[in-house]
Structure 1
Amino acid sequence: MVLQSTKPLILLSALFASFWGSAYAAIGAPSCVTFQSANGTFPIVSQKRASPVFISPDDWPGVQRAAGDFVADVERVTGIRPTLTNLTLSSNSSSIPKNSLPVFVGTLGKSALIDSIVNSTGLDVSGVRGQWEAFVSKEVQNPVPGVDRGYVIVGADKRGTIYALYEHSEQFGVSPWYWWADVPTTKHAELFVTSDGCAHGTPTVKYRGIFLNDEQPALQNWAMVKFTNGTGSPQLNSPFNHNFYTSLFELLLRMRANYLWPAMWGSAFGVDDPLNQFFADRYGIVMGTSHQEPMMRSTPNEFSLFGKGAWDYVNNKDNIYNFWLDGARRAQPFESVFTLGMRGFGDLPLSETTDISLLESVIDDQTAILNTAYGSSAKAEEIPQIWTLYQEVEGYYDDGMRVPDYVTLLWADDLLGNVRRYPVISERNRTGGAGVYYHLDLVGSARSFKWITTSQIEKIYEQMSLAVDRVATRLWILNVGDLKPYERETEFFLTLGWDASRWNPDNLDTFVSGWAQREFDLKPQQANLVVDIVGNLTRFNARRKPELWNSTVYSLINYREAERWLQEWDTLEKASTSIYSILPASTQPAFFQLVHHPVSASANLARLLVTVGRNNLRSSQAFLSTNDLADQAEELFEHDWDFENQYHTMLDGNMMDQTHVGYYYWQQPMTNSMSAINRVQKRKQALAGFMRISLEGTQGAWPGDNPFQCALGYNCPPPTLTLDSFSVFPNRFIDVGAGGPAAFTFTVSSNASWLQISPASGSISPDNAEQRVFFNVKDWSALNGGMNIAQITFTGTSKGQPAMSVSVFFDAAKMTPAADFHGFIEGDGVVSIEAAHATRNSTANGIAWTNLPRYGKTLSGVTPWPRTDEAFQVGAGPTLEYDFYNFHSIGESGNITVTTLLTPSNNANGADRPLTIAIGLDSQNPVVQQPMPDAAPGKQAAAWDGVDGFAHTAIIPLATNFSGVSPGKHTLKIMMTEPAVVVQKIVIDLGGLRTSYLGPPESLHV
């Protein structure tokens, strides 16, 4: 069977004439809202009259505040604001208008009003009572005396009620990003809920939150404008005051988050504004501090301000102990999760000589601090605590360090979205459970990435659904840097943590389509186009972070890779523009910042870097077009600023001032700087004459000398173009260009009638300095089997100069497979196969290789599913088979190399179970491979590291050699041995593989 594939690019024809749709239900949730009256509905607003909303005065302040948002949201949708009134049992129903249909909101066990209604109506709340953050809503009869019908919104606890209110608001059509991303609300005159209402049980993940890390320059500059008068906090000049944070708290609650690590590099949450912690608790946000900030203190800033001595627990224990004790006492009145342990000052590792016993004593002292700070109100084991196994700290764990069972083990990714470790079976029964610290943004080695969205929802799902499978669900924290521009991916991460059961590999597209309908009021057809736009935007940027792009990452000469890359961006930008241009003016700002800016700005950067690369190449080839490319590069470089400026002037903010062009080392550049471009003297003729030609597939240029023409670099023979009958590209090209200021005409002729030339002549001048000529075989059936050779002659004529002539050989290889063969065919000396396109897919113990649409660098990824802990002996597990046909081997030796391109997954099943996979060919013994090499505790393998390591290239190229391979039909086998391996592509080198970033395009299939 062939695994389901995905569309690699969008089609503009997907835009339909009928454009506007209605508001969309909460993403991934059953609908309980409608905009038309029908049987089984309850009015919120009908006939210009709003149902009054009642809440008990004894309910949580955060619930009362959220109820205010609820009535404001109703007004955003309908233009009519319901009344919001405190209703006590003593006041009975006298304050309820006669003949009204009221809405009652409250928390079980906290709201006397709700408890009374539940008791009097017999409303079944057994499914939510005592549950964490659960809720139910429903129409009830005779809720209070004198009222025939009412709609009741009931939370099991404070946040349960808050989430219930925001669930309704989102289904009304109010985006969580209505303020943060300027998303307009679709208007409706009528607004109803279904009588059965909405309900949700305990979330998948208990604590779900974000980390505002790496918040300079964008977020800090923007917040300084929005939330201060230009002056920040007295101690640190931080703009992150309670006005900023309460806006953020509301956003988090609307996305069903409940947890926050605050901004910390230039800030201190508990010091910058004394109201910050108070309002977090009041809103219902659980506060924590990052992996390197113990005991609710912002380190290093708070220690620099208030600490004494050095950050050295051996020689300065008492002062650090008291510093932590003050932090615990400050946080004690509020809902918090305490970070334990100790790292070096400023998110650095402690000394390599650090003794584990010292770190264990730190944990012991921190436990004592909690007991002191909380006294009789709570025991240490009752206070939520985490120990983050980040980088070298994971090494401490691997070396035997342990913390109390009630402490949550927070596993981390490798900073680029690949989780380093999940709990193994023996670790899944800890009372403190486990969680994951994940990154969308990074300041750190080998290269910071902060500018634009680069994370695939499909990748986030694959990694975090493994966390669900491995019971790492106590706490999830997402590093979002400046928060924007990661809005969509942040919401998906939190949505998955809210209810992972709703999502599977086949319905991830519905998250983006639902998001597009909610944010931009699109109909499903247009929302599906946005799915393609977003899917390809994140795919292109996840292949390699834009901060790591350069002028030669995508090959300028092989497989037309750089050209195809730019064509992909062109198609993507046209699709985005097609929607942006027809949106109402009120919706365009939201679409611009959430979709169109990242598409257009990324596309422009791609064009800039490829243009610089071509400029450098043409300079080495003595083409006059070098100067045109230099001009284009400078224009594209300045255009980068235009996108940033448009964002700021459209949205009145500074959220896009992150530098991103011209990295010199891991840290952000201080300004954007363009890569070096070259120029040639426009009035000087090249030494070899006025005409230059360059063949596809080489950096060489003729006539004259060039190191890429032959080994000597001079006195080289005429060049040769090759094409075979199963080449992915059906033609080859040669570029003709000016070698100086002289204009000339040229003709192209051949001694073979079977060779088609287009165009066969042309004119070159300083204003038209370069032209491409294509060559293809008119009719392969007319050629003899094997090699057919033609000679091509370029003749150039320029006024006042001797004519020039350059010869090129063209080799056309006609190859014929067996008549009954079906599968992939060798072309250009390789067979390239997308992993999803298996000939056969076998199942073992209910596990089969399953396609993850859109995942990875080219098309998709395949992985064994469901992901259990089961492993298989070689050949006993699920197997993918790929039939292919070869005509050659490397050097005709019978040797071939199979490179399996895998996602850079870590050995996350534990040290004794590294990820492995078996590669087999025909009846030869399969070869078991371990894609990610072993590493020292807390370290990564050398192959993972660096700007060209596995993580930053987003792939592990796993090479397997086979010998004794004769021409003909063969079957390649990919065999599961361990779970969680993801295969993206297979490339079989038969002697013709060329260097490229993505590998050859997929081979022809017959």
Structure 2
Amino acid sequence: MRNTLPAMSYVQTAFPSLAGHVGVGVEGSNATVQGDDKWHANSGNSLAVPPMDPYGPVTRWFDVFSRGTNSCAWNAAPWVPWVKLSQYNGTVGGSDGQDARVFISIDWENAPKGPNTTVVNINVTTPCRSFDKYGYPEPTIQVPVQIRSVPDNFTKGFVESDGHVAIEGPHFQAIVPPSGGASANSTSSNGTVSKLRRFFHGNAASAERPTAKRADSEEITYHVLESYGRTSGGVSLWPQNLEKLSLDAAPALEYSLYLFSNTSAANVTLYISPSQNYLGDGTPLEYGIALFPAGDPQPKPTLVRPVGNTVGTGMPDGWGYAVADGVWGHVGNYTTSRFAVDREGAYTLRVWCLLPSIVVQKIVVDLGGVRPSYLGPPESFLLSRDVAGEYNQTSYINEVDTLGGAGNGSLARQKKTGGAGSVFLSWGTLALAAVGTMLALL
């Protein structure tokens, strides 16, 4: 409300912490050891990093830092040789010490074989101990390692890691023709979609583009919007002047997944561009969604209406958050659907956009592992594109983490160019968002 700095606190440097001169923190937690704080059990000496598996981030990390007055040496020792560290020892504090971020990696070739989860400990020791040794054991970092692999018959699709699957909307595996009898036409794609298929399928000549037909013989399909939205791009129905479609008349975006978890509450959230019921509340924005085991008959899709009614001058519920965040889906459950995943295996996710203003930017399948973040998890491992044990998932554009990543940069190598259709829809949605912002501010 005011341009006033919050209250500031200072770390005193005249005396060491009661818990010792050396502290340890880990990725994904506010807790530190040695010592007591509200983020871990009293007198506990162990902290766990997020789990590691061949389809997840290449590295996890922990920090070793000074909270005392002395120059203190430290040593880190994993219990098994196939857990590797970027740094095994160092010095913190004093005039010559420096805090260190240590990256953990796995030698997957020499890790135990077979599907299992094991927890590997890393001991962190220092000779700088005084009375703290009577109250606190020396720190231990726990690394959950999930050793697993997809079967050979799953050759294309996204793979679960860390209890979730995150997908950039334009990275679909197929467009499914409408179920109402429209034929699939093997016409050549427009430039944007052709580029996408070459990148993901490696053979543009064999890529087919299923479409529906309107009465005026204009095809109904999906158009990829590169460099659009909050992350890599978006995808929406084309052409722009469509009336609202029924499920039977709409083509579907299809995404292939391999899930290791089984749960009765797999929450699938679509991040879609902010738009209102521009045809009136009697014809609301709507999409269909279904998640089911690959090869099984498709169940009846769940219909979702993410935008509520506009009452007088009041905007729809959640509209202010959608405009501020640039998407429906970040705040609230307006675009979240729940499905049961009763077994490990290959799954099919389908999305039917029923109006062109449904622009899918991102999809997140939460199987219990999604943590709070603004952009959502970075995109998951994609079989046929990424290399197991090497895919760096530290950002949505897959840039190499200068501190410890070893990304392949495959997404970063895509040129950020867009066609006229991208500009047209981007400006249309931006105009809607601008109007919503002004109304929200009023």
Cα distance in 2 for partners of 1:679, 1:780 equals 47
Q: Partner residue of 1:786?
A: 116
For 1:810, the equivalent position in structure 2 comes to 143
Amino acid at match of 2:232: L
Question: Who is 1:319 aligned against?
Answer: none
Q: Does 2:212 match 1:844?
A: yes
Structure-1 separation of matches of 2:54 and 2:253: 24
Of 246, 269, 276, 1:873 maps to 246
Match of 1:921 in 2: 291
1:941 aligns with 2:316: yes
Q: Structure 1 residues 763, 739: CA separation in 2 closer, same or farther (over 3 Å shift)?
A: same
Q: Which amino acid aligns with 1:808?
A: I
| Structure with max Cα Rg | 1
Task: Give the Cα–Cα distance (whole angstroms) in 1 for the partners of residues 92 and 15 of structure 2.
Answer: 16
Q: Residue deviations 1:1-55, cap 9 Å, x none?
A: xxxxxxxxxxxxxxxxxxxxxxxxxxxxxxxxxxxxxxxxxxxxxxxxxxxxxxx
In structure 2, relative to structure 1, the CA distance for the partners of 1:903 and 1:1002 (3 Å cut) is same
Listed as ranges, the gaps of 5+ residues in structure 2 are 177-210, 214-218, 293-297, 330-334, 384-442
Give the aligned residue type for 2:323.
A
2:277 corresponds, among 907, 924, 932, to: 907
Cα separation, partners in 2 of 1:964 and 1:1002, compared to 1, 3 Å = closer
Q: Deviations over 1:566-609 (max 9, x none)?
A: xxxxxxxxxxxxxxxxxxxxxxxxxxxxxxxxxxxxxxxxxxxx
Counterpart of 2:305? 930
Once the two structures are superposed, the pairs formed by residues 181-260 of structure 1 within 5 Å of their partners are: none
Give 3-state SS (helix, strand or coil) of 2:323's partner: helix
Q: 1:748 aligns with which of 69, 76, 96?
A: 76
Q: 1:800 to 1:718 in 2, by over 3 A?
A: closer
Following the alignment from structure 1 to structure 2, what is the Cα–Cα distance between the partners of residues 928 and 993? 24
Alignment of 1:542-561 (within 5 A): none
**What secondary structure, in the 3-state scheme, does the structure 1 residue paired with 2:244 have?**
coil
Shift in alpha-carbon separation, 1:965–1:874, aligned structure 2, 3 A: farther
**2:251 corresponds to which letter in structure 1?**
P
1:709 aligns with 2:40: yes
Letter in 1 for 2:371: R
How is 1:755-834 mapped onto 2 (pairs within 5 angstroms)? Answer: 755-767=83-95, 768-780=97-109, 782-784=111-113, 785-798=115-128, 805-821=138-154, 822-834=156-168
Residue 974 of structure 1 aligns with which residue? 351
- Summarize deviations over 1:751-806 as a string: whole Å, max 9, x none: 21111112000010145452111111112463232112211100012387877721
In 1: Cα distance, 2:225 partner to 2:66 partner: 48
**Offset, 1:999:** 0.3
> After the TM superposition, which residues 83-232 of structure 1 pair with which residues of structure 2 at under 5 Å, given as runs?
none
Q: State the match for 1:583 in structure 2.
A: none
Conserved? CA contact 1:728–1:1001, under 8 Å:
no
2:415 is aligned to: none
| Letter aligned with residue 120 of structure 2 | A
Residue 983 and residue 716 in structure 1: after superposition, are their counterparts in 2 closer, same or farther (change >3 A)? same
Task: Please give the alpha-carbon distance, in whole angstroms, between the structure 1 residues aligned to 2:109 and 2:117.
Answer: 12
Structure 1 stretches of at least 4 aligned residues deviating more than 3 Å after TM superposition: 672-678, 766-769, 799-804
Give, in angstroms, the shift of residue 706 of structure 1.
1.2
Distance of 2:127 and 2:354 partners within structure 1:
65
The structural deviation recorded for 1:937 is 2.3
The CA RMSD measured in Å over matched residues stands at 2.1
2:169 equivalent among 835, 852, 869: 835
Does the aligned pair in 2 maintain the 1:726–1:826 contact within 8 Å? no
Matches within 5 A, 1:614-653: none
1:953 aligns with 2:325: yes
CA contact (8 A) 2:290 2:351 kept: yes
Contact kept, 8 Å, 1:741 with 1:765, in 2: the verdict is yes
Task: Give the number of the structure whose residues are more often strand, by fraction.
Answer: 2
Q: Which residue of 2 aligns with 1:859?
A: 232
Q: After superposition, where does 1:16-31 map in structure 2 within 5 Å? A: none
Question: How far 1:724 sits from its partner (Å)?
Answer: 2.9
Q: Tell me how far 1:894 sits from its aligned partner.
A: 3.5
Counting helix residues as a fraction of each chain, which structure ranks higher? 1
Q: Which amino acid aligns with 1:748?
A: A
Question: d(CA) in 1 for partners of 2:303 and 2:18?
Answer: 56
What is the CA distance between 1:740 and its match in structure 2? 1.9
Q: Distance in 1 between matches of 2:60 and 2:291?
A: 32
Paired position in structure 2 for 1:997: 374
Q: Distance in 1 between matches of 2:125 and 2:111?
A: 28
Decide whether the 8 Å contact of 2:281 with 2:310 is kept in 1: no
Does the CA contact (< 8 Å) of 2:222 and 2:237 recur in 1?
yes
Query: 1:508-523 residue pairs with structure 2 within 5 A?
Result: none
Residue in 1 aligned with 2:63? 735
Kept after mapping to 2: 8 A contact 1:857/1:998:
yes
Distance in 2 (alpha carbons) for counterparts of 1:853 and 1:702: 45
Show the counterpart of 1:723.
51
State the SS of the aligned residue for 2:324.
helix
Secondary structure of residue in 1 paired with 2:318: helix
User: Given the alignment of the two structures, is residue 684 of structure 1 paired with residue 15 of structure 2, yes or no?
Assistant: yes
Q: Is residue 264–residue 342 contact of structure 2 (8 Å, CA) maintained in 1?
A: yes
Secondary structure of 1:951's counterpart equals: helix
Q: Is the 8 A contact 1:721 1:811 kept in 2?
A: yes
Q: Which amino acid aligns with 2:27?
A: E
Q: Deviations over 1:686-742 (max 9, x none)?
A: 1211111001010111111111114xxx23462222433244321111101111222
Residues 944, 869 of structure 1: alpha-carbon distance in 2 compared, 3 angstrom cutoff:
same
Q: CA deviation at 1:964?
A: 4.2
Distance 1:950 1:801 in 2: 53
Cα distance, 1:956 vs structure 2:
0.7
Contact between 1:906 and 1:915, CA under 8 Å: does it hold in 2? yes
1:924 Cα shift? 2.5
2:20 touches 2:132 (CA, 8 Å); kept in 1? no
Q: What amino acid does structure 2 have at the position aligned with 1:828?
A: D
Q: Distance in 2 between matches of 1:899 and 1:828?
A: 17
- Structure 1 contact 915–979 (Cα < 8 Å) conserved: no
1:676 and 1:817 map into 2 onto residues whose CA distance is: 51
* Paired residues, number: 328
Instruction: Tell me which amino acid in the other structure corresponds to 1:880.
Output: L
Q: Provide the C-alpha distance between the structure 2 equivalents of 1:886 and 1:905, rounded to a whole number of angstroms.
A: 32
Q: Alignment partner of 1:952: what SS?
A: helix
Q: Is 1:985 aligned to 2:362, yes or no?
A: yes
Offset from partner CA, 1:204-262 (integer Å, 9 cap, x none):
xxxxxxxxxxxxxxxxxxxxxxxxxxxxxxxxxxxxxxxxxxxxxxxxxxxxxxxxxxx
Q: Please tell me whether the aligned partners of residues 45 and 139 of structure 2 are also in contact (alpha carbons under 8 angstroms).
A: no
Query: In the TM superposition, what whole-angstrom CA distance separates every residue of 1:36-83 from its partner, at most 9, and x where no partner exists?
Result: xxxxxxxxxxxxxxxxxxxxxxxxxxxxxxxxxxxxxxxxxxxxxxxx
CA contact (8 A) 1:696 1:733 kept: yes
Once the two structures are TM-superposed, the CA of residue 875 in structure 1 deviates from its matched residue by: 4.2
One-letter amino acid of the counterpart of residue 952, structure 1: A
Q: Alpha-carbon deviation of 1:685?
A: 1.4
Distance 1:726 1:875, change over 3 A: farther
Query: Structure 1, residues 861-884: CA drift from partner, whole Å, max 9, x if none?
Result: 111111123222224302100001
CA contact (8 A) 2:45 2:140 kept: no
Percent identity reads 27
- Asked if structure 2 preserves the Cα contact closer than 8 Å seen for 1:693 and 1:737, the reply is yes
SS at match of 2:236: strand
